[in-house]
Amino acid sequence: FRDGWSRIRGSMQGLHVAKQKQLVRAAAGHRPAVFKAIRGGGTHTKSQLMNQLDYLTTKSTHIVDSSGFLDGKAKLEAREIKDLTERFAKRWEGGFKPKLGQTTHMLMSFPVGTRGEDVRDIATDVAERFFQTDEGHFDYIIAVHEDRDHPHAHLVLNRRSQEGEFFFLGRNHRFNYDDFRLAMVEEAEKFGVRLEATRRVLGPMLPITAIAFIAYGLMFTSTLPSVILEQLFMTPEGIFGIPIAVSATYMVLFILFGSLVERMGVGQLFMDFAVALTGRQVGGPAKVACVTSGLFGSVSGSAVANVMTTGTFSIPLMKRMGFKPAFAGAVEAVASTGGQIMPPVMGAAAFVMAEYLGVGYLTVAKYALAPAILFYVALFAAVHFEAKRKGIGSVPKEDQVPLKIVLLERGHLFLPLAIIVGVLMMGYSAPYAALCGIISVVPVAALRKTTRHYVTVDNILDALEGGARNVLAIAAACACAGIVVGVIDITGLGLTFSNFVIEAAQDTLVIALFLSMIAGIILGMGMPTTPAYIVQVALLVPALVKLGVQVEAAHLFVFYFAILSAITPPVAMAVYAANTLSHAKIVEASWAAVKLGATGFIVPFMFVYEPAILMQGSVTEITLVLLQATTGVILLAAALQRYYFGRLSNVLSVVLFGASLLLIYPDLRLTASGLVIAGIILAFQRSRNPNPKSQPATHT
C-alpha cells in the first residue's frame, strides 16, 4: 500500500483527483503506469538548467543521452553538465521565451523491485518512440534514480525540436498522458515488468456498468443478495455463461490466429495489396485506408488496435495529399470500425452471436456479408466524392506498388485465411477451422524468401504471448458482461425493459428500432464490442422479437450499434485513437466520422425490413434488393459529401439525401421515385457543367 501511495499521491499525474480515489488506486497489488510532468519543472535559463541537471545527474545510476554521447555513464561531471546545457541552449536562439520554459521535466515511476537497468531501457524505448520520429527529433537526457524503494526515470526534454516544433503535453494533443502511459505498459512488458493502464486506455465503463446493475438488484428489487450471488457464480446464466465459454473455445483460437498472421507480415501484405488495387485512383490514399483497414480489421477484430496499426501509414499519407486532418482521421476510424462486421473472421462478438442463435459461425458470416459490403461501398463512395470535390489525385508514384509484385512476394500469406474459409465451407466447426489456420501460418510464411525472416522462435513466441494476453482481456470483459446478464435474468429487468420499449414505441416498430439504436449506442459507449453486444442482447433483443423482427436481424441490429459506438460521440474510441495520429480538432473528426459512417446507422434498419439483405430469399430477390440498396448508399454518400457529378448546393444535397432514403426503403414505387429524382439532379448538373473538373489539391 505504501508503495502505491507514495508513487501516485499529490497532483495525480497532472490531474486534480479526490484523495479517496488516490487511496483506492494505491491499494495493495496495484501497479499503475505512472507518468508525470513535474509542475514548475521547466527551466527558462542556462543557469536554471545547469542546477537542475546537477541535481538529477549526480544522484543517478544510469544516464541516457538522445545524442548518444553520454550513454553508459552513471553520473555526470560538471564539465559534461555544462556541455549538455550549451547544447540544449543552442535551440533557444531567436528570442522566443515560452511561458512554460525552454525545457520540460517528466518522470516515469516503476514498482518496487524493478531493476535499474530495466528502468533505463524502458524509459529509453518510450523516449525514442515519441521524441525520435519522422515528425520531429527532440534532444533529451534521462537520469535513472534508485535512491527510493520505487526506481524512477527523470527525463529532461528540450522543448524545441531540430525541425523547430515546440513540445506541448496535454489531453487530446499529439503528446498526451494516456499515450505515454500506454507506451510504458507496452515497453515494460518486453522486459517482464507488468504495469496496469487498462482503466486509462479503455475507460471504466464496463466495471461501472456491472456495479450499477448489481446495485440495482440489491437496492431496487426484493432479490436477496445470496440469490444474486448464486445466480452469478453457480449457474450458466451468470459469469460462467455462454460468453465466457465462447471466449475459452472459439475466441482463443481465432485471436491466436490473428496474432500469428500479424507477426508473419500480413499487415504489410494488406497495405501493399490495397495500394496496388486503389493507389492509382482518384483519392487513392483514402481508398488505400479503406481497403487496408477492412482487411486488417477482419482479422484483428479491434477498431482501436486497427487504427493504431494501419493509421500510422494511411493518415500521414492522406494529409500529405491534401485531405483535411479531421477527414483523414475519420476515414481511418470508420474503416477500422467496419472491420468487425466484415467476414471471414469479424470480431469476437460474432462467435457469441453464433452460440446465441444456435447456428454455425459460417451462417453468421453469411448474414453479415452483404451489410458489410454496403458499409464499405458507401465509405469508398464518400471518399471518392470528397476527393473529386477537393481535386485530390492518386498515391505518389514512389509509394505505388505493382499488384504482380505484391502477389509474388507476399500473396501466399492469403492462404491461411483461405484455409479457414475452406474448412468452414466443408462443414467443420469454427474451432477446428481456426486450428487448421494456426497450423498453416508458419509453414506458409516459410514458403518464400520474402517472408521467411519472420519465422523465428522469438517471433512465434511473441505472437503466442500477445494472443494469450488479448484472450485474457476479452475473457475478463465477457465475465464482467456475464455479471450484467445474470442480474438482468434474476431480477426480470430484461422483461421490464422490453415492455418499456414496446409501450414507449406504442407497438410501432420503427420507433422501437430508433429507441433500441439510441440505447445501444449509450450502452456501448467506452465498452469493448463483445460485452456491449452481450448486454444489449439481454435488454433489447426480446423487445424487437416481440414486435415481429426476425431473431437473426434483431441480433445483428444490436451488434451493429455495439460496434458503431466506437465512432459515435461523445465517447468515440476509434476517433480518439485516430486523432492521436491526425492531430485534428476532435469535434470536427467526430462529425466527419458520423457522416462517413452514416450507412452503418441506416443498414440495420434496412435488413430488419428487408431480410434479403441478410441473404435470405431467392437469388433474383436478393440481387434486386442489393442493387437497390447499393445505389441508395452511394447517393447517400454523394449527398453528405456534397458532390455528385459536380459540386452540390445545399438545396441539391438535401434533395439527393431524400432520394437516397427513398431508394433505401424497400418499396418499388419509392425506389422509382428516388431514381427519377437522382436522374433529374444528374441532368441538371450536366446541363450546367458538361465536363466537370475538380481543382487540384495543394500537396503539403
Q: What is the CATH number of the domain that holds 48?
A: 3.30.930
CA 523 – CA 500 distance, rounded (Å): 16
Tens digit of each residue's pLDDT (9 = 90 or more) over 292-345: 887 777 666 667 777 876 777 788 878 888 888 899 999 999 998 888 888 876
Residue 529 lies inside a defined structural domain of this protein: no
Give the predicted TM-score (pTM) of the model.
0.65
Whether 319 and 191 share a structural domain: no
**What pLDDT shows up at residue 271?**
77
Of 259 and 557, more confident: 557
662's grid cell: 427513398
**What pLDDT shows up at residue 3?**
45
Is the distance from CB of 114 to CB of 151 less than 8 angstroms? yes
**What pLDDT shows up at residue 20?**
43
Q: Give the single-character DSSP code of 35.
A: E
Angle subtended at Cα 300 by Cα 294 and Cα 306, rounded to the nearest 5 degrees: 60
**What pLDDT shows up at residue 173?**
67
Of 7-16, 294-303, 373-382, the range with the lowest mean pLDDT is: 7-16
Tens digit of each residue's pLDDT (9 = 90 or more) over 199-231: 433 446 677 788 888 888 888 888 888 888 888
Whether 288 and 359 share a structural domain: yes
Residue 356 lies inside a defined structural domain of this protein: yes
Residue 532 lies inside a defined structural domain of this protein: no
Whether 73 and 156 share a structural domain: yes
On the question of pLDDT at 370 being above 80, the answer is: yes
Residues of the chain with pLDDT > 90: what percent?
Answer: 21
Q: How many domains does the chain have?
A: 3
Domain boundary among 475, 490, 509: 475
Domain boundary among 446, 475, 504: 475
The contacts found for 690-695 with CB under 8 angstroms, 24 or more apart, are 692/645, 692/646, 692/647, 694/387, 694/388, 694/389, 694/390, 694/391, 695/390, 695/391
Partners of 140 in the beta sheet?
A: 157
Question: Per-residue confidence at 95, pLDDT binned at 50, 70, 90?
Answer: low
CA 632 – CA 611 distance, rounded (Å): 17
Whether 252 and 190 share a structural domain: no
Whether 346 and 269 share a structural domain: yes
Of 460 and 246, more confident: 460
CA 333 – CA 313 distance, rounded (Å): 13
* Segments in 67-115 forming alpha helices (H): 78-89
Average pLDDT over residues 351-375: 89
How much is the mean pLDDT over the chain?
82
Q: Which of 602, 655, 667 is nearest to 633 (CA)?
A: 602
Average pLDDT over residues 515-532: 82
On the question of pLDDT at 28 being above 60, the answer is: no
Whether 135 and 259 share a structural domain: no
Whether 183 and 257 share a structural domain: no
Domain boundary among 435, 457, 475: 475
For the chain, the residue count is: 700
Whether 169 and 260 share a structural domain: no
Can you say whether the dihedral through the CA atoms of 612, 615, 621, 624 is positive or negative?
A: positive
Amino acid at 573: M
**What pLDDT shows up at residue 573?**
77
Residue 522 lies inside a defined structural domain of this protein: no
Q: What secondary structure does DSSP assign to 228-265, as a single string?
A: HHHHHHHSTTSTTSHHHHHIIIIIHHHHHHHHHHHHTT
Residue 236 lies inside a defined structural domain of this protein: no
**What pLDDT shows up at residue 124?**
94
Q: What secondary structure does DSSP assign to 383-415, as a single string?
A: HHHHHHHHT-----GGG---HHHHHHHHGGGGH
On the question of pLDDT at 88 being above 70, the answer is: yes
**What pLDDT shows up at residue 4?**
45
On the question of pLDDT at 36 being above 90, the answer is: no
Average pLDDT over residues 193-198: 49
Residue 282 lies inside a defined structural domain of this protein: yes
Residue 545 lies inside a defined structural domain of this protein: no
Helix (H) or strand (E) holding 64: strand 62-65
List, in order, residues 6 or more apart from 463 with CB less than 8 Å away.
Answer: 256, 259, 260, 262, 263, 264
Give the residue numbers spanning the domain of 650. 618-700
On the question of pLDDT at 656 being above 80, the answer is: yes
Cis peptide bond prior to 344, omega within 30° of 0: yes
Whether 342 and 445 share a structural domain: yes
Question: Per-residue confidence at 192, pLDDT binned at 50, 70, 90?
Answer: low
Residue 566 lies inside a defined structural domain of this protein: no
Of 213-227, 468-482, 528-542, 612-626, the range with the lowest mean pLDDT is: 468-482
Is the distance from CB of 562 to CB of 604 less than 8 angstroms? no
Whether 122 and 184 share a structural domain: yes
Tens digit of each residue's pLDDT (9 = 90 or more) over 458-476: 888 888 887 887 777 778 7
Question: Per-residue confidence at 696, pLDDT binned at 50, 70, 90?
Answer: very low
